[in-house]
């Protein structure tokens, strides 16, 4: 069985996977900007365990309890002034071998979470947890089911990938095709990077003058199609 988390951690990026999915016509989820890693050097990959938190700490603890090694806890929550996880939840996640957290909300104990080496993507930090939130701002959370993270839908078992450039979401059944396409793209991009390092002009490598002439004749000319024709990628 292919270990996609290990592959992603060692050789791939969200940009490569997103481009590969686009080129193959495969649907992918792209949360709106704002969900960022606490540690920009961290990388996250694994299937989702979802929870709609409603600022309810107990539901977050339940999702943590249910999650298994290699899984990512994905927490949907309206952004209220309360952190949804901190160092103790992070320590338990590390003990269990979880792949990380995606929190559509706030966290705390950020230095401790970074020191744990646990990948955490969130919208920011706040020093007060949900137990201190006014009753009218919280309810009872629900573990499982489809959630929305940055307006992107995530169902249990869908794969989350994250790095310094953001997050993408893929269906498990699409991983083999996406990684195959990403591998080919990575080889093309590395070959082009080597050419540039050796002195090749990027415009020449992309035959930019040819495309500009084509676009002058046809304003609808597609640069992606042009790159495909000349076996290039960007």
Of 173, 189, 210, the last residue of a domain is 173
Give the residue from 39, 209, 218, 59 showing the smallest Cα distance to 130. Answer: 59
Task: Examine the domain organization and report whether 145 and 193 are in the same domain.
Answer: no
Are 100 and 119 in contact by the 8 Å Cβ rule? The answer is yes
Of 173, 193, 208, the last residue of a domain is 173
Q: Which tokens go with 95?
A: 């003990």
Residues in CB range of 233: below 8 A, 6 or more apart: 19, 185, 188, 189, 192, 227
What are 194-215's pLDDT values in tens digits?
Answer: 889 999 889 888 999 999 999 9
Whether the predicted pLDDT of 78 surpasses 80: no
Q: What are the helix (H) ranges across 12-50?
A: 14-24
Task: Examine the domain organization and report whether 85 and 102 are in the same domain.
Answer: yes
pLDDT at residue number 227: 87
pLDDT at residue number 234: 75
Whether the predicted pLDDT of 115 surpasses 90: yes
Task: Examine the domain organization and report whether 165 and 196 are in the same domain.
Answer: no
Could you tell me the pLDDT band of residue 233, with boundaries at 50, 70 and 90? confident
Task: Examine the domain organization and report whether 107 and 141 are in the same domain.
Answer: yes
Q: Is residue 52 part of a domain?
A: yes
| Separation of CA 9 from chain center | 12
What are 5-23's pLDDT values in tens digits?
Answer: 999 998 899 999 999 999 8
Task: Examine the domain organization and report whether 119 and 154 are in the same domain.
Answer: yes
Mean pLDDT of 86-93: 97
pLDDT at residue number 156: 98
Task: Examine the domain organization and report whether 45 and 135 are in the same domain.
Answer: yes
Domain that holds residue 14: 4-173
Q: What is the mean pLDDT of the chain?
A: 93
pLDDT at residue number 143: 96
Of 173, 193, 210, the last residue of a domain is 173
What are 158-192's pLDDT values in tens digits?
Answer: 999 999 999 999 999 999 999 999 998 888 888 88
CATH label of the domain that carries residue 78:
3.50.30.40
Q: Total domain count for the chain?
A: 2
Whether the predicted pLDDT of 77 surpasses 80: yes
Could you tell me the pLDDT band of residue 81, with boundaries at 50, 70 and 90? confident
Q: Which tokens go with 139?
A: 């309810």
Task: Examine the domain organization and report whether 186 and 157 are in the same domain.
Answer: no
Q: Is residue 234 part of a domain?
A: no
Q: Give the count of beta carbons closer than 10 Å to the beta carbon of residue 78.
A: 12
pLDDT at residue number 191: 85
Q: Is residue 99 part of a domain?
A: yes
Task: Examine the domain organization and report whether 47 and 65 are in the same domain.
Answer: yes
Task: Examine the domain organization and report whether 89 and 152 are in the same domain.
Answer: yes
């Amino acid at each position: 069985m292919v270990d996609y988390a290990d592959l992603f951690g060692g050789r791939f990026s969200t940009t490569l996977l997103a481009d590969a999915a686009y080129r193959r016509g495969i649907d992918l989820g792209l949360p709106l900007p704002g969900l960022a890693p606490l540690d920009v050097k961290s990388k996250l990959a694994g299937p989702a365990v979802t929870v709609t938190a409603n600022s309810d700490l107990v539901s977050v603890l339940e999702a943590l309890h249910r999650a298994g090694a290699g899984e990512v806890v994905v927490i949907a929550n309206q952004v209220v002034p309360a952190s949804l996880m901190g160092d103790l939840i992070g320590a338990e996640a590390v003990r269990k071998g979880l792949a990380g957290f995606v929190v559509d909300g706030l966290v705390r104990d950020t230095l401790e979470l970074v020191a744990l080496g646990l990948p955490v993507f969130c919208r920011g930090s706040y020093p007060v947890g949900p137990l201190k939130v006014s009753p009218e701002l919280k309810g009872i959370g629900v573990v499982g089911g489809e959630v929305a993270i940055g307006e992107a839908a995530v169902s249990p078992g869908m794969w989350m990938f994250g790095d310094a450039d953001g997050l993408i979401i893929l269906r498990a059944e699409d991983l083999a095709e996406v990684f195959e396409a990403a591998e080919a793209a990575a080889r093309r991009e590395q070959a082009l990077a080597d050419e540039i390092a050796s002195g090749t002009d990027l415009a020449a490598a992309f035959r930019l003058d040819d495309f500009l002439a084509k676009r002058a004749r046809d304003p609808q000319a597609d640069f992606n199609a042009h790159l495909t024709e000349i076996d290039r990628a960007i």
